[in-house]
Structure 1
Amino acid sequence: MRINNILFLFLGCAFSYAQTEKNVDHQSLLWTRYYNLLTINNKWSIHSEFDNRVFLNSFENNLYEFRVQGRYKINKDIEIGAGYAYFSVATQDPEITFDFRIPENRGQQDVMWKQDIGRITLLQRFQVEERFFHNANKEGLVSGTTFFWRFRYRIQGEYSFWKKEDQYLKTIVHDELMINAGKNVVKNTFDQNRIYAALQYGVNKNLALELGYLNSFQQRASGVDYFDRDIIRFTFYHKINLHKKK
């Protein structure tokens, strides 16, 4: 019953935002990310990432973030994780800049499961986030924080074009829907939808490079203002294995 209620919430929010009159601001951004995967043993791993995001149509910093999480493999198909993320937001509009940054502290928990269908790997992830924003006005930070929940569901497909020993080339596509919840959410229960397509090249068993395009369509707190963002994303993956197979 709870799963059905969550699905109805996602579908209802998607339908309601599609029917709403919109004021859309189009933006172009570049996201660059370093992603580290530290394998402890065949069950446990630690994932960390550093991400910097900048606007391109008027070159300004959007934000940078740090994220760390512990992950546990229940079996070969199901994995769970929990962690913490810190965001430092400079601005959400390159035409409006400030001399201060707004911090966000975020907890997260997720479950991810995969299914192999021939050369295609299907991954689904459901994630819950607890988001704490430091209060601010146009002059600077003020006392207190604002809290709300966010629920995320992502479905992703991966297809391997080529593989030779420790090198490979694969394509990745996914669609992710995000929903806000909590007493501080008034007009933007729908947060955003992200569609992503990328190519990932495995340089060797420890290094991989990924280049992709992401479209983010996000509703603002007003309920009628939206960001439509065209994003180029580059990721450098770095694997460190502490577990030596016998």
Structure 2
Amino acid sequence: MKFFKILLFLSFLSQSSLAQTKNVDQQTLIWIRYYTILPINEKWAIHSEIDNRSFANPVHQNLFVIRVQARYRTNKNIDLGGGFAYFNVNTQNPYVDPDFSIPEYRGQQDITFVNDIAKITFHNRFQAEERFIQKADQTELLNEFSFSFRFRYRLQSTFTLCEKGKRSLKGTISDEIMFNLGKDNKRNAFDQNRIYTALRYHFNPNIGLELGYLKSFQRRASGVDFYDRDIIRFTLYHKINRQIKK
């Protein structure tokens, strides 16, 4: 019951912010991601992903992401992570095609609390990000960066729908809210809310293919304009099979 109350609160917050907007740009995107997990031992693992995001109508590159992080499982209920991400942002408007892309370098740290209730696994993730974004004018990149600090909270539930031998079908429902902090983010302290639902089919414990739908409401730097995004996401999960040292 508490889970649904939090989801309703986050959805209400994003809808209230949207109701006060001046302009809302509705966009449709397709995200394609390859996610790998490399176990080091029983507690440590390296997670990495390559993510390509494109507009669907018209078809145009949005951005490209490479992310690497180390994860440490302190016990069955607490998971820690820290890593680095590189974003190459082509454009946020599919009708605008600049001659350059804007790089962003991002550090991230998180703590995730994992709880099993009945046959559902809940993940409460608290994540901090340090974002260094290169500045640009209308024609070129500038030799300086802006800094932005962001806090993210995600509540996610995962459950098995059916299982036969090594094959399984799992479902995921999540809601994530993000806040910008700092003097340069006063007009868009509330950054965005993401609601996500997906189905993941595992051919075996090491290979899974996920199809999901993500609804994103994101406030722009103006503080009164929003992106309203419908996103279809494809993810190939690959856990590298290797002998774990105990």
TM norm structure 1: 0.92
Q: Deviations over 1:59-89 (max 9, x none)?
A: 1000001000000001011100000000000
Is this contact kept in 2: 1:167–1:201, CA < 8 A? yes
Q: Secondary structure at the match of 1:29?
A: strand
Report what 2:5 is aligned to.
Answer: none
Q: CA deviation at 1:16?
A: 6.7
Cα distance in structure 2, aligned partners of 1:60 and 1:21: 26
The verdict on how the C-alpha distance between 1:220 and 1:52 changes in structure 2, with shifts beyond 3 A counting, is same
**Residues 28-107 of structure 1 mapped to structure 2, 5 A cutoff:** 28-107=28-107
Gap runs ≥5 in structure 2: 1-9
RMSD: 1.9
Is this contact kept in 2: 1:13–1:179, CA < 8 A? no
Q: CA deviation at 1:154?
A: 0.3
Is this contact kept in 2: 1:37–1:48, CA < 8 A? yes
Q: Read off the aligned partner of 1:99 and give its amino acid letter.
A: D
Q: Deviations over 1:132-159 (max 9, x none)?
A: 0001011010110000100000001112
Is this contact kept in 1: 2:31–2:231, CA < 8 A? yes
Cα distance in structure 2, aligned partners of 1:172 and 1:99: 38
Q: Read off the aligned partner of 1:109 and give its amino acid letter.
A: Q
Report what 1:4 is aligned to.
Answer: none
The verdict on how the C-alpha distance between 1:144 and 1:222 changes in structure 2, with shifts beyond 3 A counting, is same
Identity score, percent: 53
The verdict on how the C-alpha distance between 1:167 and 1:161 changes in structure 2, with shifts beyond 3 A counting, is same
Gap runs ≥5 in structure 1: 1-9
Is this contact kept in 1: 2:207–2:237, CA < 8 A? yes
Report what 2:169 is aligned to.
Answer: 169
Q: Secondary structure at the match of 2:75?
A: coil
Is this contact kept in 2: 1:148–1:183, CA < 8 A? no
Is this contact kept in 2: 1:13–1:189, CA < 8 A? no
Q: CA deviation at 1:117?
A: 1.2
Report what 1:3 is aligned to.
Answer: none
Report what 1:5 is aligned to.
Answer: none
Cα distance in structure 2, aligned partners of 1:14 and 1:194: 9
TM norm structure 2: 0.92
- Where in structure 1 do 4 or more consecutive aligned residues deviate above 2 Å? 10-22, 241-246
Is this contact kept in 1: 2:134–2:145, CA < 8 A? yes
Cα distance in structure 1, aligned partners of 2:245 and 2:142: 52
Is this contact kept in 2: 1:67–1:85, CA < 8 A? yes
